[in-house]
Structure 1
Amino acid sequence: MASLSFLNRDNTVAGPGYNRWLFPPAALAVHMCIGQAYSLSVFNIPVTKLIGITEPAPDDWSLSATVWVFNLAFFFLGISAAIFGKWVERSGPRKTMLCSALFFASGFALSSLGVHLHSLPLFVGGYGVLGGIGLGLGYISPVSTLIKWFPDRPGMATGLAIMGFGGGALIGSPLAVTLMKHYATPTSMGVSETLMTMGAIYFCFMIFGSVIARVPAPNWKPAGWVPVANTGNQMIATASVTADNAIKTPQFWLLWAVLCLNVTAGIGVLSQASPMIQEIFSEGRRGTGLGITAEAAAGFVGLLSLFNLVGRFFWSSLSDKTGRKRIYMIYLGLGAVLYALVPTAGNLGSTALFVGLFCIILSMYGAGFATIPAYLRDMFGTLQVGAIHGRLLTAWSTAAILGPTLVTQLRDYYISSGKAAGLTESVAKASAYNTTMYIMAALLVVGFVCNLLVKPVDAKYQETEAKPVLA
C-alpha cells in the first residue's frame, strides 16, 4: 500500500524551489503519445488486407467497418473526459496519467489481439473504447496542471501541451509505417506486431511523464506575479466555479457552441483535404491536362498538419496578450472570411491562394483546442478547470461527427444532382465543396456571435463573493 501512496495527489505536491518548467516535459510525454490518434489512418488499408495481403479477400474487413476505431476513439475521448473530470482533479496528474497509460496501452494490446484472431469487435473495442478512455484521461490531466503552474501565461502553457497532441501524428505515422514494413512477411501485414510494439513504447513514455509529474502547493504563485494586473485580458475570474455549477451558466454553453462550431468547420475540411484539392483542381474541370496529383495532395495534407501544429502554440501564446475573447473573435471572424474566399480561389484556379487560405484556417482550428482551457480558466477559475474542460470536450465529440458527415453528405448530394442535370462529375464535386465552404463560413459567424455574448460569470455561481475583474 505504501508503494501505491506514491500516486496520491498529496504526495505529488512540489516542494520549495521546484522549477515549474520541469512539468511541461511530463505533459508533452503524454500528449505526444496520445496524439498518435491523429495518425490512425495509416492502418486503414493494411487492416483491410489482413487475409488477402496484396488485395482485400472476401473475408477481410471493409474500410467502412474499420474506420469506427477512429470515430469511437474520439467519441470516448470526449465522454471519458466529461465523466472522469472531477476524479482527475481529486486524484492529481500522476495517478491520472498512469491510468491513461494503462488504458491507452491496453487498447493497443487488445486491438493487436483482435488483428491476430481476426476479430473486428476486439480490434474496434481495443483502441476505440479502451484507447479512447486513455485519450480522454491523458488529454485533460496535464492541461489542468499546466494552468495551475502557469497562471501568468496559461495560453502559452496549454498551447505547449496541446501542440504535443497535434504533433503526435508526425511521430506516430512514420513509426507505424516503419514497424509494419519491419514485421511484414509474405503471410502477414505486420499490423498485430506493430500495434503491440507501439503500445509498449507509448506506455514507457507515458509512465515517465506520470512519474515526474508534480502539482503546485495550495495558493502557490510565480514569484513577482500579481493576479489580473498586466494580463491584458478582458475577463479574469478572481473566484472559482465548480464543474457542477459551471454547466448551469450560459457562459459554459456559449463556449461549448464556440468550440463545437470552430471544430466542425476545421475537422470537416481536414478529414477531406486530400480528395478536396484534387477534385477542385482536377484535370477535367480545368481543361488544361494538369491537375493535383495524389502525391501533391499528400503534401498539402502534411502542410495543413504542420500549420495545425504550429498554430496551437502561436495563437494560444498570443492570447495571453490579447485576451481569450479577443483571440476567438479573430479565429471565428477571420476564419469566416477565409472560408468564404475559398470558392474564389478555386474559380481562379489559384492553388497558391487556395493552399494559403487553408493553412491559416487550420492554424486557427488547432489554436481553438489550445486556447479553450485558458478561456475556461479565465471564466471559471482553477478549482475544477480540468473537470470543466472535460465536460466541454463533448463539443469535440459532437463536431467530430458533424464536420466530416456534412462534407461527405453534401459531396454525395451534389454528385447525384449534377449527374441528373447533365453536369460532369468534376464540376459537381467542385460545386459541392463551394457550398460546403459557405456553410462553414456561416457556422463560424454563429460562433462569432456566441463568443461576443460571453460575459463574466455571475457571482451566484462562484465559491466566494469575489467577482470577475474587467481589466
Structure 2
Amino acid sequence: MSSSIPNAHGGALAPANAPFFSKEATIAGPGFNRWMVPPAALAVHLCIGQAYAFSVFNAPLSKVIGITKSAPDDWALTTLGWIFSLAIFFLGLSAAFAGKWLERVGPRRTMFTAACCFGGGLLISALGVKLHQIWLLYLGYGVIGGIGLGLGYVSPVSTLIRWFPDRRGMATGMAIMGFGGGAMIAAPMSVALMKHFSSDTSVGVAETFVVMGVLYFISMSIGALAIRVPAPGWKPAGWTPPVTTGKMITKNHVHIDEALKTPQFYLLWLVLFLNVTAGIGVLGQASVMIQESFKGVVSAAAAAGFVGLLSLFNMGGRFVWASTSDYIGRKNTYYLYFAVGAVLYWLVPGFASAGNVVLFVLAYGIILSFYGGGFSTVPAYLADIFGTAYVGGIHGRLLTAWAMAGIAGPALVNYIRAYQVAHGVTGPAAYASTVHIMAVLLVLGFICNLLVRPVDPKHYMTGEAPTDAPAH
C-alpha cells in the first residue's frame, strides 16, 4: 500500500509514488504560495501568443529560393496564409476535443504535451523550409503546432480559477493577457533572429524556427513543471464563499457533457462568438481601414502605429476588464462590452467623416479592449455558471466560437467593403455599413447575455465535487 502525504487541512495529498506527470503528483503541499501559479501559466501563454506575430514570416517565406525577391518557384502569400489559418483552426479543435482529457490527466501533462507540440511543430516547419515542402509547414506549425496552441491555451485556466475563487477574473486575465501580449515579444525577436541568420543563401527563417522552437519548448516545460493544483477542500486563508447570489455564482458543479445540454452553454457560446466577431474583423483590416478613412492624413507608418496601439488595448483589456468583473460581476461586464461597444461602432463613421483621428483611434482602442476582455472574462463566467469541477473542458468546447468568429469577422469586413467599393463608395463611407452591422451584432450579444440565467438544478452533479476536477 502506498503512503500519502498529508496536506495543510488534514486531508491526503498525492501518493508518494505517484507518476511525475500524473495529476496527483501536482497537488500542492503545505504552505504553497498560490501566486506561483500565474507565472507558470504566463510561461505558456507568452509563448503560444507568438501565433499573433506569425505574419512577420510571410514575406521572408515567399523568398526562400530567390532570397532577395520571390523566384518563380517560391511560395505565394496566398499559399502561406493557410499556415496561420490551420493553426487557429486546430487551436479551436484541440481545445474542444481535449477538454475531457485535460480534466482527467491534469494541467502538468497537458502543458508539457503542448510544449512538445508547439516546439516540435516549429522544428518540423524548419525542416519544411529547408526542403521547401509546404506540406511540412502545414503539418508542423498548422496542425501539430495548432494542437499545441489549443492545449496550451486551456490547460492553465481551470487551475487558476481553482486557486483564485476570490479573484477568478483577475487570475484568468493575467494568463490570457499573456496570449495577447506574446506577439509583442515574438515579433521583434523573430525579426532580429532572421536578420542574424540571413545570408546570401538563406533568409534565416529555418534557423529562427529552430531557435524559437527550442526556447518555447523550454519555457513551456518550465511552466508545466511549476504548475500545481490545490488540494481537495483548499480555500484561501480567511476567505469564505459569498452567501449572496447577486453576481450569479453557483456553488454547484455541472459535468462537461451535461453542460452541453443546457441553454446557458449555447447562450455563452453566442456571447463569445458575437463579441469576437465584432472585434477580430477590425484587427485584420485596421491598417487599411484607418488609411482609407483618413486619406492623405494617416501614413502607412502611422497606420502601423495604430495597429500596435490596438494590440496594447487588446492586451490591457484582457487584464483590466477581467479584474473588473470580480467586482461588478461577469454578466454586468459583458453588458458593458456590448452596450458601450455598440454605441462606439455606431459613432465611428461620424468621427471619420469629421476628420477626428483622435476620437476614431480612441473608439477603436476601447472596442479592442472589450474584444480582449471577452476572452479573459469568459472562463470565470463559465465557472460562475457551471462550477469549477469541469471548467477547463467546458471552456475548451466554448472556444469553437472563436474558430467560427475568426471566419465570420474578417469575411464581414472584407466582403462588405469590397461590395461598397465595387459600387463606387470610397473613404469612410466604405466602412459605414460594416461597422453598423458590427453594432447590431453587439446588440444581439447584449440580448443573449440578458437571457443567461442560473443553471437548472437538475443539471448539477450529485454530491460534493472536489476542487480539482475528478478523474472519469
TM-score w.r.t. the length of structure 1 is 0.93
SS of the counterpart of 2:242? coil
Q: Aligned residue for 1:87?
A: 101
Question: Are positions 1:439 and 2:445 aligned together?
Answer: no
What SS does structure 1 have at the residue aligned with 2:428?
helix
Matches within 5 A, 1:288-299: 291-299=297-305
Quote the residue 1:220 is aligned against. Answer: 234
Contact kept in structure 2, 1:233 and 1:324, CA below 8 Å: no
Indicate conservation of the 8 Å contact 2:313/2:366, yes or no. yes
Matched, 1:111 2:125: yes
Paired residues in the alignment total 449
Q: 1:412 is matched with which residue? A: 418
Q: What is the CA-CA distance between 1:106 and the residue it aligns to?
A: 1.1
Match of 2:156, SS state, is helix
Q: Secondary structure at the match of 1:340?
A: helix
- Residues 430-459 of structure 1 show CA distances to partners (whole Å, capped at 9, x for unaligned) of 323111100110111000000000000000
Residue 246 (1) aligns with residue 274 (2)? no
Change (3 A) 1:212 1:44: same
- Provide Cα deviations, 1:228-249, integer angstroms capped at 9, x if missing partner: 247x852011110011010110
Please tell me whether the aligned partners of residues 75 and 397 of structure 1 are also in contact (alpha carbons under 8 angstroms). Answer: yes
Q: Partners in 2 of 1:228 and 1:3 — Cα distance?
A: 37
Paired with 2:361 and 2:165, the residues of 1 have a C-alpha distance of 36
Does the CA-based 8 Å contact 1:411-1:429 persist in structure 2? no
The answer for the alignment partner of 1:188 in structure 2 is: 202
After superposition, residues 57-206 of structure 1 pair within 5 angstroms as 57-206=71-220
Q: Does the CA contact (< 8 Å) of 1:111 and 1:127 recur in 2? A: yes
- Taking the aligned partners of 2:17 and 2:219, their CA distance within structure 1 comes to 20
Q: Does 1:52 align with 2:69?
A: no
The one of 399, 405, 422 equivalent to 2:405 is 399
Percent of residue pairs bearing the same amino acid type: 60
> Residues 218 and 465 from structure 1, CA distance in 2 versus in 1: closer, same or farther, beyond 3 angstroms?
closer
Do residues 342 (structure 1) and 359 (structure 2) align? no
Q: 1:459 touches 1:465 (CA, 8 Å); kept in 2?
A: no
1:469 matched to which residue of 2? none
State the Cα RMSD in Å: 1.4
Where does residue 7 of structure 1 map in the other structure?
Answer: 21
Q: CA deviation at 1:4?
A: 8.9
Answer yes or no: is the 8 Å Cα contact 1:243–1:388 preserved in 2: yes
Task: Give the match for residue 368 of structure 2.
Answer: 362
For residue 292 of structure 1, report the CA deviation from its aligned partner: 1.0
Q: Tell me the residue number matched to 1:311.
A: 317
Tell me how far 1:410 sits from its aligned partner: 1.3
The alpha carbon displacement at 1:3 in A equals: 9.7
Letter in 2 for 1:30: V
Q: How does 1:323-342 map to 2 (within 5 A)?
A: 323-342=329-348
Alpha carbons 2:353, 2:428 under 8 Å: kept: no
Amino acid at match of 1:84: A
In 1, Cα distance between the equivalents of 2:96 and 2:283? 25
Residue deviations 1:136-172 (CA, integer Å, cap 9, x gap)? 1001111110001001100000000000111100100
Is 1:26–1:213's contact at 8 Å kept on the other side of the alignment?
yes
Where structure 1 has 5 or more consecutive residues not aligned to the other structure, the ranges are: 284-290, 419-426, 467-471
Amino acid corresponding to residue 231 of structure 2 in structure 1: A
Q: Residues of 1 paired with 2:434 and 2:90: CA distance?
A: 27
Shift of 1:464: 3.2
- Contact 1:315 1:367 (8 Å CA) reproduced: yes
Q: Please tell me the residue identity of whatever aligns with 2:360.
A: F
> 4+ residue runs of structure 1 moved beyond 2 angstroms?
427-432
What residue in structure 2 maps to residue 422 of structure 1?
none
Match of 1:113, SS state, is helix
Residue-by-residue CA offset, 1:97-144 (whole Å, 9 max, x unaligned): 100000001110111111111111111221111111001100111111
Aligned to 2:456: 458
